[in-house]
Chain A
Amino acid sequence: MRVVAKPIDVIAKFNKEGIPTPIKFKITGEDEAEVTIKVERVITRDLEKLAGNKMFVFRCQSVINGGEKIYELKYGLETCKWMLFKI
């Protein structure tokens, strides 16, 4: 995996404790085309507090371009923004 840190549109569900789980996300590819990716499995969820900045880090798995891919999504509790962090 390498760091890409791309902002993404996300559909997520939040439970009663306020913890989100990503369901699918939309990313703009290099050719400006939008791709929607369904999050098939959330493998781990961690709360990161680096620099005192809280972010949920989700390690996920999806089939992308016909192959299984592992990648990381991040959600900033302060900014309420999602990004595809690593793929």
Chain B
Amino acid sequence: MKQNRIIFHIDVNSAYLSWEAVYRLQNGASLDLRTIPSAVGGDPKSRHGIILAKSIPAKQYNIQTGETLHTALQKCPNLHIVSPSYGLYMQCSDAMMKLLEEYSPVIQRFSVDEVFLDYTDMEGHWGDPIAMAHKIKDRIKEELGFTVSIGISSNKLLAKMGSDLKKPDAVTTVFPEEIARKIWPLPVEDLFYVGRATLPKLNKMGIYTIGDLANYDYEHIKYRLKSHGALIWNYSHGQEASPVRGGKHVDIKGIGNSSTIAFDVEDRITACRILLALTETVAMRLRHTENVCGLVAISLRDSELRNYSHQRKLFSPTDCTKEIFEIVTELFDEAWKGEPLRNLGVRVSELSSNELQQKSLFDDVDQERNRALDHAIDQLRLRYGSKAIMKATFLNSGVKSMIGGVGADDYPMMASLL
């Protein structure tokens, strides 16, 4: 790898909320959601679900991402809540990717609202990186209507920390020589991979800031926390070397959804309908990432809160709803012991790019037709919403035709989308 890389991390400020606000303004809304206490999440009518994103004025009421609408409305009764719209967020994310593609061939969508861009060797073309980051930021604001924060450094870790330092609408550099000044004063839990489990251990060693960790003895921390200790110590010195992965490669191990049911599921048909609804969403998300999966798993929790799961490796990877659901039902029939169920989940993993898949497409006429069908259904749902088209089995069944996707009740689906 090149010695002196220049990496940008572009992060949309309050992404879902800004996107909802911009779209509404474009279509004539008199109110900018960003200027009032507002939040995206759940279903404002039934008041079910959780907060996925909040406006800056909502932060003053201590509204937390992840809390229930119920709790949030207790804190702030006039909180303006809007349901999430999956299609809109992908559209905003895609538009931003398209704009960024003009500046470098090597860009990586890290999540729906975060992108890494490798600017190495682009200076000759586009000029000074800081000036260019300002230009990109301003173009996004002007053309797409939302603000971003951009971090610039010599690797992905520091670039990402940089974009977090100043928000909204800002450009911040964190080059290696700036780490001590800009990064070391931060609390150690702001560092990647310092989670809830690691923090108390570090605190016990007298480590409270990233600087404390950086100045701690390497051998000692490695002895106490093993390889994880070595990793976070290196991070505290800004040492990280992963490449910006171009194309549609995504940093995900798997895509999953589960749903807790309000009643005991005691019959196979209802259980399979719920599994189908989950599969519909999981498969759609899988296709959007342009990946195929090599492993399908289900998880079940019974009314005694006992969990179990069952999985199968596939002979040939797929992204087809029908194929995935066939395996899901096989797994269910093998695993279910007949007891009442309260939670069901579907997960796909061992993802790989669908590029090769597409080449073998003409081998199987059925597969080709299924692919066309999936594509058509995805387009309809993105355009007209999840209820635009549904499998007939859901009619009058009391089970929703897609669970965990568009307007998800209980899952922040976009968080795991990419």
Interface residues of A (CB under 8 A from B): 3-5, 48-53, 55, 78, 83, 85
Contacts and interface: CB of A to CB of B under 8 A. Distances in A.
Interface of B: 19, 22-23, 25-30, 88, 91-96, 143-146, 383
27 contacts: A3-B28, A3-B30, A4-B28, A5-B27, A5-B28, A5-B29, A49-B95, A49-B143, A49-B144, A50-B22, A50-B25, A50-B144, A50-B145, A51-B26, A51-B88, A51-B91, A51-B92, A51-B95, A51-B144, A51-B145, A51-B146, A52-B93, A52-B144, A53-B23, A53-B26, A55-B26, A78-B383
Contacts of B94: 52
B28 A52 contact: no
Given A5-B27, A48-B26, A53-B88, 10 more contacts: A4-B28, A50-B22, A50-B26, A50-B143, A51-B95, A51-B144, A52-B92, A52-B93, A52-B94, A85-B28
B28 A51 contact: no
**9 nearest CB pairs, A to B:** A5-B28, A52-B95, A50-B145, A52-B91, A51-B23, A51-B22, A50-B26, A52-B92, A51-B92
Contacts of A52: 91-96, 144
Contacts of B22: 50-51
Contacts of A48: 26
A80 to B, nearest CB: 12
Contacts of A53: 23, 26, 88, 91
Nearest to B90: A52
A51 B93 CA distance: 9
Which of A50, A55, A85 is packed against the most chain B CB atoms within 10 Å? A50
Contact of A51 (B19, B30, B383): B19
Contacts of B25: 50
A4 B352 CA distance: 48
Contacts of A55: 26
A78 B26 CA distance: 13
B29 to A, nearest CB: 8
Given A51-B19, A51-B91, A52-B92, A83 B28 contact: yes
Nearest to A84: B28
A48 B26 CA distance: 9
Nearest to B91: A52
A4 B29 CA distance: 9
A51 B89 CA distance: 8
B382 to A, nearest CB: 10
Nearest to A52: B95
Contacts of A50: 22-23, 25-26, 143-145
A4 B92 CA distance: 25
Nearest to A78: B383
B305 to A, nearest CB: 42
Contacts of A78: 383
A85 to B, nearest CB: 6
B106 to A, nearest CB: 22
Contacts of A5: 27-29
Which of B22, B26, B146 is packed against the most chain A CB atoms within 10 Å? B26
A79 to B, nearest CB: 9
Nearest to A83: B28
A27 to B, nearest CB: 14
Contacts of B88: 51, 53
Nearest to B30: A3
Contacts of B28: 3-5, 83, 85
